[in-house]
Amino acid sequence: MIQVPAKPYPFTLPPGRTALIVIDMQRDFVEPGGFGAALGNDVARLGAIVPTVAALLRLFRDKGWTVVHTRESHLPDLSDCPPAKRLRGDPPQRIGDPGAMGRLLVRGEPGNAILDAVAPVPGEIEIDKPGKGAFYATPLQDILAERGITHLVFAGVTTEVCVQTTMREANDRGYDSLLVEDATESYFPQFKAATLDMIAAQGGIVGWTTPFAELERAVRG
């Protein structure tokens, strides 16, 4: 067992039973011209974590541990996108509308692809999810169970939406989860800070948080 310094107290990481879940590192969220930018956000904030996410991926690949990548995406006919999701708010472009990188958040479109710098390699798991949480309407739980996974390490975007939602789903399913603080980001710094506090509050009511350097030092010994 590996003890990782973390908040609110050290996270116990069992080698071979821990998976890395990288949430939605897609062009649509991180690059100009995508869905995130269409909502009026500064996507540069998200792009800044790419080197850390890449380093985290190298760490897990070096150890041969399970890696899962998710994409928030919808079928081309949008049959898996509830109207309440697509029509909420008043953005200039909605899910399924044409954008600079193809139709927004639609599977197979250029903007829906994961960034090259953190893209999956052969043997890694890819999950297309129609919701914010990675367990909803996906095979993720079955995949993790088949591999004997009991602990999860999280990275990706955005901290307070898809990352936190998936961590809360994992918590309800009995997983112990660690969020890497500098490998996740939000368009709103105050939302990220609040989410990190909420996750570790009350004795780790949702999970643990730690910087990448602490995780890497513990894992590499």
* Active site positions, annotated: 24, 129, 162
Are the CB atoms for 185 and 49 separated by under 8 Å?
yes
For the chain, the distance separating the N- and C-terminal CA atoms, rounded to the nearest angstrom, is 12
Nearest-angstrom CA–CA distance, 216 and 99 = 38
The residue among 64, 68, 59, 57 whose CA lies nearest residue 118 is 57
H or E element that contains 71 = strand 66-72
The residue assigned the tokens 């985290």 is 56
Count, residues in the chain: 221
Nearest-angstrom CA–CA distance, 36 and 29 = 5
The residue assigned the tokens 């949008």 is 78
Nearest-angstrom CA–CA distance, 51 and 62 = 16
